[in-house]
C-alpha cells in the first residue's frame, strides 16, 4: 500500500504560525523532504521535532525523485516543506509532486502560513478579483516587458519579489504605471518589523527611501483605475 506525500506549509517568519495539524504530520511522517538543510533543522528544532531529512533543490530534484517515489510506493509517509511558507510557490517540489501523482501517490496539502493572503486582506482593496503574477524577471529589459503587459490587465495585481530589488521594482512601476498608482506594500509579514504601507507608489517610495528598508515583501497594485 502506497504512503502519502504531505505538502506542509511552514511559518514565513513567526514560528507561532505553525498549525497543530502540521506539527502532528511532521512528527508522524517517516521522513521530511526539505529545500535547504540548515533552515529545516532550525525550524524543526523550534518545534522540538527530530526527523531524518532529505534535501531536494533545483540542482538535484530530478535525480532524487525516483528514490523518493520508491519510498512512497513502499508505504512510507513523507512530508515536503520549503524554507518557509507554502511549498511549490517558486520552490522546488513540482517535479516530485507531478511524478507522485503519475505514480498514484496520494497528495495531501496541509494549509498554513503564506504571504499572499495576509497581504491581500490587509491591503484595504476590494478583493472580489485579483491577478496573481508572482515574481518578475531579474533582468531589467525582461522585467520592463512584463510590466508593459501587466499594464493592460485592469485588475488588482499581486507581485512577489526579493528584498534586494524593492527600489528597482518601485522605479520600474512608476516608469510604466505613473506616480499615482495606488499600491499596498506588505513588508516583512509576521515578523517584528512587519509594516503595511498603503498609498500612491510615489509616496510609498519616499517612505521606503527614508527608512532604508530592505526585506521580504508582497506588492499589490490597483490597476483598475489607471488609464
Same domain, 102 and 10: yes
Residue 164 is predicted with a pLDDT of: 80
Q: Give the residue from 89, 110, 131 where a domain finishes.
A: 110
Phi, psi of 91 (to 5 degrees): -120, 160
Residue 212 is predicted with a pLDDT of: 80
Number of domains in the chain: 2
Residue 101 resides in a domain: yes
Same domain, 96 and 185: no
Same domain, 22 and 79: yes
Same domain, 70 and 32: yes
Same domain, 101 and 197: no
Same domain, 44 and 84: yes
CATH number at residue 198: 3.30.950.10
Residue 138 resides in a domain: yes
pLDDT tens for 118-156 read 999 999 999 999 999 999 998 989 999 999 999 999 999
Residue 56 resides in a domain: yes
Same domain, 92 and 124: no
pLDDT tens for 36-91 read 999 999 999 999 999 999 999 989 999 999 999 999 999 999 999 999 999 998 78
Same domain, 104 and 122: no
Across all residues in the chain, what is the average pLDDT? 94
Same domain, 8 and 106: yes
pLDDT of 14 strictly over 80? yes
Q: Is 147 within 8 Å of 156 (Cβ atoms)?
A: no
**What is the arithmetic mean of pLDDT over 196-225?**
91
Residue 181 resides in a domain: yes
Q: Give the residue from 110, 144, 171 where a domain finishes.
A: 110
Residue 58 is predicted with a pLDDT of: 87
Note every long-range contact of 209-212, with CB atoms under 8 Å and residues 24 or more positions apart, other chains counting.
Answer: 209/167
Q: Give the residue from 110, 136, 167 where a domain finishes.
A: 110
Residue 125 CB coordination number (10 Å):
18
Residue 166 resides in a domain: yes
Phi, psi of 209 (to 5 degrees): -65, -40
Residue 204 is predicted with a pLDDT of: 94
Calculate what percentage of the chain has a pLDDT beyond 90.
Answer: 87
In the numeric block, which cell numbers belong to residue 140?
A: 531589467
Residue 227 is predicted with a pLDDT of: 53
Residue 209 is predicted with a pLDDT of: 86
pLDDT of 225 strictly over 80? no
Same domain, 89 and 162: no
CATH number at residue 68: 3.40.1010.10
Residue 227 resides in a domain: no
Same domain, 165 and 181: yes
pLDDT of 160 strictly over 70? yes
Tell me the residue range of the domain where 54 lies.
4-110
Is 0.95 topped by the overall pTM? no
pLDDT tens for 171-204 read 999 999 999 999 999 999 999 999 999 999 999 9
Same domain, 218 and 128: yes
Residue 96 resides in a domain: yes
Phi, psi of 117 (to 5 degrees): -70, -40
Q: How far is Cα 168 from Cα 189, in angstroms, rounded to an integer?
A: 21
Amino acid at each position: 500500500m502506497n504512503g502519502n506525500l504531505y505538502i506542509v506549509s511552514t511559518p514565513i517568519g513567526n514560528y507561532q504560525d505553525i498549525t497543530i495539524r502540521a506539527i502532528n504530520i511532521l512528527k508522524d511522517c517517516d521522513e521530511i523532504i526539505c529545500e535547504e538543510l540548515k533552515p529545516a533543522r532550525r525550524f524543526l528544532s523550534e518545534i522540538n521535532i527530530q526527523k531524518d531529512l532529505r534535501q531536494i533543490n533545483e540542482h538535484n530534484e530530478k535525480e532524487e525523485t525516483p528514490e523518493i517515489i520508491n519510498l512512497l510506493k513502499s508505504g512510507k509517509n513523507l512530508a515536503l516543506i520549503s524554507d518557509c511558507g507554502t511549498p511549490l510557490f517558486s520552490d522546488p517540489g513540482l517535479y516530485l509532486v507531478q511524478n507522485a501523482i503519475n505514480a498514484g501517490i496520494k497528495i495531501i496539502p496541509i494549509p498554513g502560513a503564506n504571504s499572499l493572503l495576509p497581504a491581500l486582506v490587509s491591503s484595504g482593496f476590494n478583493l472580489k478579483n485579483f491577478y496573481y503574477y508572482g515574481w518578475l524577471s531579474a533582468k531589467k529589459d525582461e522585467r520592463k516587458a512584463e510590466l508593459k503587459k501587466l499594464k493592460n490587465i485592469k485588475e488588482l495585481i499581486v507581485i512577489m519579489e526579493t528584498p534586494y530589488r524593492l527600489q528597482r521594482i518601485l522605479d520600474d512601476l512608476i516608469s510604466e504605471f505613473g506616480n499615482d498608482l495606488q499600491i499596498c506594500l506588505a513588508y516583512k509579514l509576521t515578523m517584528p518589523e512587519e509594516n503595511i504601507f498603503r498609498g500612491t507608489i510615489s509616496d510609498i517610495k519616499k517612505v521606503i527611501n527614508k527608512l532604508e528598508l530592505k526585506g521580504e515583501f508582497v506588492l499589490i497594485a490597483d490597476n483598475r483605475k489607471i488609464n
